[in-house]
Structure 1
Amino acid sequence: MRMDSSYLNTAQPSSGAGNARVVLVTQSSAHAFWLASALGNDAEVIPVANDLALLQSTISAPGMGVVVVDFSSPMTDAAVGLVSELRRIIPSVIIMGAGAAAEPTSMRAALRCGVAEFIDWEATEGEASIVIKQQLQARAQAPAATALALEPETQGFALPLLGARVGMGVTTLATHLAVMLQEMQAHDLSDATRRKQLARPFGASQLPQDDAAHAALLDLGLPARDGLLYLSVAGDFSFVDAVQSMRRLDSTLIDSAFTKHSTGTATLAWPSDLGQLRDVSPSAAASVVSRLKALLKAQVIDLGGMMQADFLAPVLRECGQGWVVCDQSLGGIVSTAQMLKELDAKGVDRRTLKLVLNRFNAQAGLPAKEVAQRLGLDLLHVVPDRTTVLLNAASCGQLLSQTLRGDPYVMGIRSMARTLLGDAMAGDKAAAPPTPSILGQWAKRLRRGE
């Protein structure tokens, strides 16, 4: 049943507001009155119950701006379903979420749906007015934004690490490399920020410190979510959530939804319920990687133990490169050779793959060059066997790079990171990160448990 907006104490929008209208999907008349009061003459609020057919006809009316969906209990589950249907029927609609920050469930549900912004019913009316005006302006400027999107973008790189079987140290290597790439980028930008601060005019305010994610670990190997364990992070927002939120996958979502390591490294892993993996097609996974290349400087993709060539091939083609991680064991070499044959059958160019010989012991096993020859790969890196010190660091809940920065393993990882970044570290110096959105601010507070 539709609530009659004529009962709302809201003046008709002025001509300067462009007769903007906001659809509010809610069961609460109190929320409708509150939002109408917050917007005043800037936009008309049209409250509608959770009725898809009625909502569709309302949205199609002229002058419609954005849709605000109330995720407050007991509407949370229904709101999630409604957003999914709206996106399917009207892909261009701008959807905002609303709820109480005191209800973490509603906030988390809105985040996972990939809403453009989030309104807290317990916030001030001024805050609500600001975020809605921003979305109305974004809708009005959509054609210009589309034109800008066609401009060439500075692309980051994505590096998949393949391991043909569990236990070859791929996850350990991936976590250390992702964090090292993040630290190097953050340090580079920090130096640039300090130089700008020294050169600023007398009396000018301090530049904001850089706290953005420049590198990400995509923890897509098996056993699932081991990378998160090594980094001591939870990772509530999963890779499946990212696939389902492709339309909203931007820097704001990374800042607000992706769990970050203490260094700022973003993480994205499989969900705890591996049954959800059937909802992720290989092409969808490659699309997420492609989108993140436009948003992050570096991605390290842990694919250790993931033997499905149908899944690996599209990701490898999207990345244009890959490191095959293998050790000196007979089982590791045989399994890796079989994996390479399956990738050959899927059309993966073996010239794009390089060998990283992990846990190398010069006193045991085949020499590094012989392993590379048997696998038909170019040998790129040889990583020393440092199993004991790595286990000691992990038992303390830390990476080895945080406890023994001069260890041969860490020095090898640092060399890899420098090679990957190359001249890019001295290239494009990113500007100061934008002020976090209201959605990002509330997501951070939610993660901190405030």
Structure 2
Amino acid sequence: MSQSLNQTFLAITRNSTDLEWLQGALAPLGQVVGADGSLDELLALVDVTCANLVFVDLDREHVVAQAALIEGALEAKPMLAIVALGDGMDNQLVLNAMRAGARDFVAYGSRASEVAGLVRRLSKRLPAATPTTQLGGLTVLYDTQSSGDGALLAEHMALVVQKSGQQTLLLDLGLPRGDSLALLGLESSFHFGDALRHLRRLDATLIDSAFTSAEAGLRILAYASHDEPLEHTSAAELYMLLSALRQHFQHIVVNVVGQPDSEALRTFVSHCDKLIWRTDQSVLDCRRNLELLNNWREKGMKLDHARLLVDRYLRGVSPDAETLGKTFALEVIAVLAYSPELRLNAKNQGVTLFELAPREALTQSLTTLGERLARRSEGLAKPKAGWLNRIMGGK
């Protein structure tokens, strides 16, 4: 995971309101990911998020099971710190929490500064958690406005990384749905929703046999029309999916262009290596993007890894790229020419820009951008091929 957020915390709360309260209180320190009440999922999430601090809700009706959960988690992960949540006026709850092994107790409704202060103090005493496996690179492309160009750009960036010799996945969750497949004239029987349902079976064999293969061996996992909206996907599910995928791919390019703000979207944004925020010179598009960007900044989300991509650029039209970079307070990573005829021909003919017009400025800019992304993950070990891939000679 990237260092854009300092830490990841896990929380088992009684409802979404309490989870949101905790997320707001700890936003400057990291992301709080909600988990269900099962010990197995909690331990799996601890492994994939490298979290070392967990919040567990306690109430009178379920205190025995909740205390057993705390004890079970600490037995499996002795270095874990658990903070109990509940009614601070209920002395019996506090006593049960301490007996089970909780490090501290936080009353619901406590001031954000008090909760953050407690977490800072506990974190100083905890050992730093490190990933047990090397994870592949993760690049996210985002724009508040839905656009078929999102899939076009993400697809070409992913192809460049794949052609650099890195096993690459395009995770296309942008709106409109499934454009990456349509642009290349491909079909798929396995989609994003299927991957979520088969998390425990997501190995090299399943990837080889079910994930769509495109030019140069690029794999594509896309959003299907019947998949649940992304905002209905929990952060816990996404963590499990991304952790599994990043063990099998050296680089993943995620298209989330057009997705509304949600915990799922913020999970992608907060934990990618590079966030590429796409905009054009339209005042309306800029205004909508700025509104969300500033909202996230006000919430305390750290966006040091974000860069601005100015798309469909027309020279001599205001605002120019430099002005946009200053307005967004982001470094401009690339400026892509408008080239409407070229884009339309690529979409209609189902061929890539590399094949259609390799020397055009748009194509060259996308190649440069893809090469820049590839350099970030070029030192990662290549994942082992599944049996089907080995039989077919890695094609």
Greater gyration radius? 1
Alignment equivalent of 1:283, drawn from 236, 250, 253: 236
Q: Say yes or no: does 1:436 pair with 2:388.
A: yes
Q: Which SS does the other structure have where 1:263 is aligned? A: helix
Question: 1:406 corresponds to which letter in structure 2?
Answer: R
Q: Pairwise mapping of residues 81-96 of structure 1 onto structure 2 (< 5 A)?
A: none
* Shift of residue 282, structure 1, vs aligned partner: 3.0
Deviations 1:266-290 (A, max 9, x none): 1111222144657622331233123
* Counterpart residue identity of residue 179, structure 1: L
In structure 2, do the counterparts of structure 1 residues 370 and 263 end up closer, same or farther at CA, with 3 Å as the change threshold? same
Query: Which runs of structure 2 are paired with 1:146-157 in the superposition (5 Å)?
Result: 152-157=132-137
Counterpart among 135, 143, 151 of residue 171 in structure 1: 151
Out of 271-280 and 260-269, give the one that drifted further.
271-280
- The 5 A counterparts of 1:292-307 are 292-307=245-260
Partner amino acid, structure 1, of 2:146: V
Match among 98, 120, 142 for residue 162 of structure 1: 142
Structure 2 vs 1, CA of residues 424 and 262 (structure 1 numbering), >3 Å: closer, same or farther?
Answer: closer
- Consecutive unaligned residues of structure 2, counting only runs of 5 or more, are 1-37, 42-129
Amino acid at match of 1:165: Q
State the Cα RMSD in Å: 3.0
User: Which whole-Å CA distance do the structure 2 matches of 1:252 and 1:433 have between them?
Assistant: 8
Return the offset for 1:435: 3.5
Q: Which position in structure 2 is the counterpart of 1:420?
A: 373
5 Å-filtered alignment, 1:43-192, equals 152-167=132-147, 169-185=149-165
Pick the aligned partner of 1:317 from 258, 261, 270.
270
For the residues of structure 2 that align with 1:326 and 1:437, how far apart are their CA atoms?
38
- Tell me if structure 2 keeps the 8 A contact 1:168–1:358: no
Displacement of 1:414 in angstroms is 1.4
Match of 1:190 in 2: none
Superimposed CA distance per residue, residues 331-352 of structure 1 (whole angstroms, 9 cap, x where no aligned partner): 1110110121232255421222
Worse-superposed segment, 280-289 or 251-260? 280-289
2: CA distance, partners of 1:279 / 1:356: 28
Distance 1:357 1:258, change over 3 A: same
What is residue 55 of structure 1 aligned with on the other side? none
Q: 1:243 to 1:419 in 2, by over 3 A?
A: same
Which residue in 1 is equivalent to 2:191?
A: 238
Q: Distance in 1 between matches of 2:287 and 2:359?
A: 34
Q: In the aligned structure 1, how far is the partner of 2:349 from the partner of 2:148?
A: 21
Contact kept, 8 Å, 1:159 with 1:323, in 2: the verdict is: yes
Cα deviation for residue 153 of structure 1 reads: 3.1
Distance in 2 of aligned mates of 1:368 and 1:420? 21
| 1:332 and 2:311 are equivalent in the alignment | no
Give 1:241 deviation, angstroms.
Answer: 1.1
Structure number with the bigger relative contact order (C-alpha 8 A, sep ≥ 6) is 2
3-state SS of paired residue (1:350): coil
**Residue 169 of structure 1 aligns to a residue in which SS?**
helix
Aligned 8 A contact 1:216 1:266 in 2:
yes
Hey, what does 2:115 align to over in structure 1? none
The one-letter code of the counterpart of 1:164 is T
If the length of structure 1 is used for normalisation, what is the TM-score?
A: 0.54
In the alignment, what sits opposite 2:75?
Answer: none
- How far off is 1:421 after superposition? 1.8
Deviation at 1:409, TM superposition (A): 1.4
Query: Which whole-Å CA distance do the structure 1 matches of 2:131 and 2:307 have between them?
Result: 32
The match for 2:212 is 259
List aligned pairs for 1:2-21, cutoff 5 A: none
Structure 1 counterpart of 2:297, from 344, 360, 376? 344
Letter of the 1:336 counterpart: N
Q: Deviations over 1:352-401 (max 9, x none)?
A: 21101111111223111111111121212111212211211221111111
- Residue 437 of structure 1: CA displacement? 7.9
Q: Distance in 2 between matches of 1:429 and 1:352?
A: 23
**Cα–Cα, structure 1 residues 308 and 336, in superposed 2: closer, same or farther, change >3 Å?**
same
Q: Which amino acid aligns with 1:291?
A: A
Look up the match of 2:87.
none
The answer for the alignment partner of 1:387 in structure 2 is 340
Partners in 1 of 2:380 and 2:305 — Cα distance? Answer: 26
- What residue number does 1:119 align with? none
d(CA) in 2 for partners of 1:432, 1:251: 8
Which amino acid is 2:370 matched to? A
Q: Is the 8 A contact 2:280 2:286 kept in 1?
A: yes
1:402 corresponds in structure 2 to 355
Identity value in percent: 24
Deviations 1:50-89 (A, max 9, x none): xxxxxxxxxxxxxxxxxxxxxxxxxxxxxxxxxxxxxx9x
1:171 CA drift (Å): 1.9
Q: Match of 1:100?
A: none
Taking a change above 3 Å as real, the CA distance of residues 407 and 282 of structure 1, as seen in their structure-2 partners, is: same
Q: How far apart are the structure 2 equivalents of 1:367 and 1:232?
A: 35
SS state at 2:362 partner: helix
Question: Conserved in 1, the CA contact under 8 Å of 2:231 and 2:260?
Answer: no
Is the 1:309–1:342 Cα contact (8 Å) retained in structure 2?
no
